[in-house]
Chains A and B, each alone.
Chain A
């Protein structure tokens, strides 16, 4: 029996952290090495073994091509996306195109999907927690940047499933930070969370009071984080070296990996020191042969700040815009939280202080606060499930507009950004040709006016429409964003009330089959539960239809009873319904599926008559 404890996992770009609620307070779980964070690094060793965490990071220099870091930057992205293009040129491992336009990483000849890799990190975090707690753990709350879109959220959830976790909720990192900050404090104020992590920048403004944490505004940039700061340093180092020695270090994978490590270390050191020296002996053998070359230089803090000034500017600009969107001024902000390792940089702290005209709160640990918040939310949800009333509720928002492509290639927004989730919106589609049997819908997410500038969540094909003259079939399509920020789409024929089937024709997520393959390789257990769920779902749907039919029956009896033909129909349907009732009680998956079909048909008949 697995523990009922929920772990909170901060799945970071560079480091991950896990926390749990213990004795009424959240605490971070250290890994076996005693560190509170674990590098989000996965590697395939020479003997084919998979390495994760500290051990993977340690061998990165000698095995750069088979070591994956910053997988979070490309998770849930489609092939050809700018983020993927950038990553392809910046990383030493091989990023290749997957079978359906998604992104894969090739390690020792085998292609891995990104959720699979992130899943390995999550599995490692799960193991850290299990070792510490001494019992198996299943449930988890995973955090992601607020600015993640649907594809990235879905992929993260898939990663959780691959890791053998029951992901009870996906929450936004800045929100999680606020939850941990407000835990047990009975706050009544507006808080701004400034989260500059390894790969992303997020800004969230929360209105906290009476145990309710309401996000009033979320904004950010998924291409802005510590890695960009590192890249500036790498470019500066490589440029200097090129000028002196006429060799581009970035062409050599091992040299690039060493540069990357050195840049990161230098950046961290400059948070406390004024200047740092970078020493990389024997970094490269010149292409024409000859003695190995050395890189030796010093980097003053001022130079680093100069190299990255525009990045910090962008953070402040986004913050400014977020405040304006929320209709607030800096005076309304009661506290500023700094989250993410990058906020240790003095210039970042200084600029934030200058902007808000107040010094940021020092009470939170930038690396751990997010995981702590996830644990807090997980515990609250478990309390709800147990029927107790926890003393907090999170009201989060969606950070992108959700809409569809309309004629002319524009985005028609159906759900606006900063709408509280869960939420839904409906749209009516009409056929434009006679006997048109399908409608294509392109669902988009993003804040740009032109459709093509936004992220395509999926192309849906609405099939099986009735044959009718144009304009007579109207289908109501409902878009729903759940508490995880994940979008789902349902369609219903407005006249007959029949559900329309929807086929996803483009999506970057793993297909069910692939998921199955990976899971089988990992664990068969999670799959069984999914199928159980489906059977339960079918049964529930059957029961619902039966109840509905029973309710409408008297009216249908009246309508059909009036004619001879109708009486025969009544007898037929009655026996079908009785048989279905018996099947629903017992019945395996296949029988249930068939019963569902029978019930759906009968339901339509009865409903049509009773209207």
Chain B
């Protein structure tokens, strides 16, 4: 290709080179954005206007793109036509499309593929199924027939699968083709840009002056190296690897009981690879531990307070404790065992009333937990609600029978009867 094409002028129209996979290019956001507006017709001046970027930024980006060989400005339609002749519209339906579940017959599917080919690689004439010399009346009729065939209404309430997008594309192109061909001036312009009809295609003499350099793609070793490089460069692989490193570190830290650091590491791992189940599980586990840890600290504080403050200023103490319990209760996600522990501490400190909240929460979190049940039984007995206490205790007795419990049940029954 022409190397001197590196300077870009405002009046040039650049065009994406055929066969370039733009997803594989090392482009920044701005270049990508500019490239998204390149369509072969828009001149550079309009690109500047439509992207809203400064003129020199656009020019620089285009120069870069030209250097990369992604776009070219001296567009030659015959080249494209020849490339087209190489493949041409599909003649058989690919298996995966034939197997796709949708309400279209096989021949309808193939027809859609063929017309879709015309919309991307063919001409406006091809889309409407017309000869180059078609008259206006023929164009109009072809437009109407094609519309009736491809208008979404022709597939009313049908399951179309991947053909839906194809049909939409075709329908859009049918209208566009008609708009161009039905307007004599636009049609002349369009015809001018078209390559000559393919029938008597002039053979361009191919005289390679210099033998082309050996294609590296023919050297299996270099191909393999390139492939390996490509695989390693894949950003997803890098992300996944980084995530694995963070995950391993988090496990180590967790084993060393360094909770806060472990939480940080697992957070990093999750940011790199949010799709990893292991990461998610460990993160849940660590988060649970962090919460439990915080909670245990709160409980310890309460225990300390009940022990030290006994008899000092009962009213004040009760108030402060109630506040501490309330804030402990507000912590989401603590386990039942923690609430049981808290409840016990409060009873021990002489505040059975405050223990009711934690006990309720523990029972709600784990309705069959023996310790939670026993805590509640103690509280119920204390509150002289013997009937309820008996009911719960029987449940616990059934699960874990013991003579003391049987005896206690008897005692509570009697108390209930007395009451």
Contacts and interface: CB of A to CB of B under 8 A. Distances in A.
Given A395-B151, A422-B168, A474 B29 contact: yes
Nearest to A575: B277
Contact of B141 (A210, A395, A472): A210
A253 to B, nearest CB: 47
Interface in A412-437: 420, 422-424, 428, 430
B172 interface: yes
Interface stretch (B196-204, B226-234, B366-374, B398-406): B226-234
A389 B30 CA distance: 49
A610 to B, nearest CB: 9
A393 B277 contact: no
A214 B153 CA distance: 14
Interface residues of B, number: 44
A257 B151 CA distance: 48
Given A569-B276, A601-B274, A562 B156 contact: no
Interface in A585-611: 601-602, 604-605, 608-609, 611
B144 interface: yes
Interface string B13-51: 000000000011000011011001000000000000000
B172 A393 contact: no
A395 B228 CA distance: 53
B140 interface: yes
Nearest to B30: A471
Interface string A388-399: 010001110000
A608 B23 CA distance: 11
Contacts of B274: 601
A572 B278 contact: yes
B106 to A, nearest CB: 15
B156 A381 contact: yes
Contact of A381 (B153, B273, B277): B153
A566 B232 CA distance: 11
A560 B171 CA distance: 40
A210 B23 CA distance: 44
Contacts of A611: 23-24, 234
A422 B277 CA distance: 42
B275 interface: yes
A506 interface: no
A576 B277 CA distance: 9
B147 interface: yes
B144 A212 contact: yes
A209 B29 CA distance: 49
Contacts of A562: 228, 231-232, 237
B175 interface: yes
B185 to A, nearest CB: 13
Given A209-B140, A395-B151, A608 B32 contact: no
Given A423-B172, A609-B234, A609-B236, 12 more contacts: A168-B157, A209-B144, A211-B144, A214-B147, A385-B157, A389-B154, A422-B152, A422-B171, A471-B30, A569-B240, A572-B276, A573-B275
Interface of A: 168, 209-212, 214, 380-381, 384-385, 389, 393-395, 420, 422-424, 428, 430, 471-472, 474, 483, 494, 547, 551, 558-560, 562-566, 568-569, 572-573, 576, 601-602, 604-605, 608-609, 611
11 contacts: A209-B140, A210-B141, A380-B153, A384-B155, A385-B157, A471-B29, A494-B32, A494-B36, A562-B228, A562-B232, A564-B244
